[in-house]
Homo-oligomer: A and B are copies of this chain.
Amino acid sequence: MAVYLHDIPLAEAQRRIREALQSAGLWGVLGKETLPISEALVGRVTAEPIWARLSSPHYHSAAMDGFAIRAEDTAGAMPTAPITLLVSSQAAYVDTGDVLPQWANAVVPIEQVEALNSAGQPADDPRHPYMIRLRAALTPWSHVRPMGEDIVATQLVLPAGHVLRAVDLGAIAACGHTEVTVTRKPRVAIIPTGDELIPIGQPVKPGDIIEFNSLVLAAQVTTWGGEPIRFPITPDEEELILEQVQEAARESDLILLNAGSSAGSEDFSARVIERLGELLFHGVAVRPGHPVIFGILSRPGAPPGDKVPIFGVPGYPVSAALTGEIFIEPLLALWTGRSPAQPEEIEAILTRKITSPAGDEDYVRVVVGEVGGRVVAAPLARGAGVITSLVRADGILVIPSGVQGIEAGEKVRVRLYTSSRNLNRTLFAIGSHDMSLDLLAQFLAERGLRLVSANVGSLGGLVALRRGEAHLAGSHLLDPETGIYNIRYVQQYLPNEKVMIVRWVEREQGLIVQSGNPKGIRGLEDLTRPDVTFVNRQRGAGTRVLLDYHLGRLGINPEVIRGYQQEEYTHLAVAAAVASGRADCGLGVTAAAKALDLDFIPLFQEAYDLIILCKYAEEERIRAVFDLMADSRFRHAVAQLPGYDVGQMGVIVQTC
């Protein structure tokens, strides 16, 4: 089969993997091992059916404390016609769980007999009387726990392919086993490569990329039942990489060769695989993660038929992690004899339009929540390097290769990472970013609630509320005519809803400048200087509205401001731009400047409110926010942020 250096469809890639593994005799359980039952077996998979060796119980036992008797000896006993049995010839005391004597076939509970001495009086020790008197007959096998009540020897206790749980270990021990034969853990070698990579813990300088894909892949492998072996970083030299791969191929069942992110790195992987074995594909039409490579090597020093599969894993973190989910998890499931993970799926309404290049299966990370009884999915950042998109994701929306995009408002199917039962514990705060929302997220997490915030600016937040995509929106939109925040915009954008406006914080806004203020910036007028570069906020952001308002008052034409077109979406991103030298200044809040050790020129005080639809105001997750607004520990934490005033936090600006 020819290997073209272009992306093949995912289904074709999976077919080639299956065929190659089938030819190599690797399409099934890899192997098994027999372990003592006391080893850590939870999560391991039975390799063989488990048939009972013993019955459980394995003997007839007394089910109560009392006297073992022959039921026939009690025939005819009645309250008016009691029967007396002699102990040690017709009756014997037994505790619960004791072996039933061979001659006995029933137990009379001690409460149902009169224990008498030889004189017919109550015995000194009721468990060792001379005789017992009964006033009711017993049927055979009364109060006896018969052998095999639970398990009968030879019956099937657990099938093969069963993932062991704690209670299973009890049943296995109960029926006489001391060992369990389970599928063995595949050994997976993980080889990171790349000149720019540094190991975790090494001090970081520009140009260094912290190598953590091997950590993530190793943790994935462990989660999915394998045994990872992490190799140290190999530089981008083909002979060194080949050496490492050969070393790995001696002892491993699978090799994950992780390329760096530079273009050349991937080519090394492909060439090494071609030199050591057979390259079966180079590039799959999935995004992110298309530069994934697959081949089959011969195991060094072993008979020719002994093969080792190898994946070239892409360098970008999201690509690497998704390669794990798409290709490695099903393979480890197959090799350990369990079913592949089947994520829960849910139907949701897409909040924002997504475009998707033709020809690729697009794995879009989304957050999912429930707003007003509808399930909505909001896409996260698409970049292959944005590992927080996997951390924040509630699930994956797979856009098939024929589809070029999905419109906002359309129904989509999401493969969940979380459980759908968590959806009502998620609060969607969509609107203007504020650093206090990170604190809110922390405090809500203590209450088992999750805050998902999307930074689309104040206006974007009002629109999201109107479209039923958020529970609340943060907003600080100044009405230039009245100098009042938010009320007019709420009326304008949410005319048909009853809306509550609650004061959250009052914050200082000003110019964030480099440490030491090298350009001597003092106010908005300095933005017109040719030697000053500005970085702006996006249209619709309250900070942008604030800027434009004051520029208007000062008679400054935005076109003369260098960098006015450069837009960032959060205060911290503006600060980051200034800190990196990309810009000399930007308008933002004090806390953002202080967070990155920048200087700050305070200019304005503004109100930042939470906009809440009245129909959600009584939901538990919203009430939790109100509780926190009154919580002194929370208010104190927010007040610690520089430039923040919580004096009005919780004041209702507009009631329902």
Contacts and interface: CB of A to CB of B under 8 A. Distances in A.
A181 to B, nearest CB: 14
Contacts of A157: 388, 391
A199 B437 CA distance: 56
Contact of A178 (B98, B141, B200, B342): B200
A484 interface: no
A388 B171 contact: yes
Interface stretch (A81-89, A158-166, A539-547, A647-655): A158-166
A260 to B, nearest CB: 7
A316 to B, nearest CB: 10
A59 B97 contact: no
Interface string A251-264: 00000000011111
Given A141-B566, A174-B210, A212-B169, A442 B156 contact: yes
B54 A204 contact: yes
A97 B168 contact: no
Contacts of A149: 383, 385-386
Nearest to A345: B421
A42 B222 contact: yes
**Secondary structure type dominating chain A contacts:** loop
B176 A204 contact: yes
Interface stretch (A7-15, A275-283, A401-409, A572-580): A572-580
Given A49-B442, A95-B262, A98-B207, A170 B212 contact: yes
Interface in A147-195: 147-162, 165-171, 173-174, 176, 178
Interface string A331-371: 00000000100101000000000000000000000000000
Interface stretch (A213-221, A607-615, A624-632): A213-221
A441 interface: yes
Interface string A64-103: 0100000000000000000000000000000111110010
A646 interface: no
A38 interface: yes
A621 interface: no
A206 B141 CA distance: 17
Contacts of A206: 58-59, 99
Contact of A155 (B146, B217, B438): B438
Interface residues of A, number: 114
Contacts of A174: 210, 212, 317, 387
Contacts of A230: 38
Interface string A33-44: 000011011100
Contacts of A388: 150-151, 157, 171
A57 interface: yes
Nearest to A144: B582
Given A209-B97, A387-B167, A596-B153, A160 B216 contact: no
A60 B150 contact: no
A143 interface: no
A223 interface: yes
Given A145-B385, A150-B385, A387-B150, A445 B161 contact: yes
A448 interface: yes
A131 interface: no
Contact of A173 (B147, B210, B223, B381): B210
22 contacts: A54-B204, A55-B576, A59-B580, A65-B263, A95-B264, A97-B209, A140-B563, A145-B385, A146-B576, A151-B388, A152-B572, A152-B576, A159-B442, A166-B219, A167-B216, A168-B391, A170-B212, A170-B317, A171-B391, A173-B215, A178-B201, A344-B419
Among all A-B residue pairs, the 10 with the closest Cβ atoms: A166-B219, A173-B212, A159-B445, A59-B206, A148-B576, A170-B216, A99-B207, A156-B438, A154-B595, A167-B390
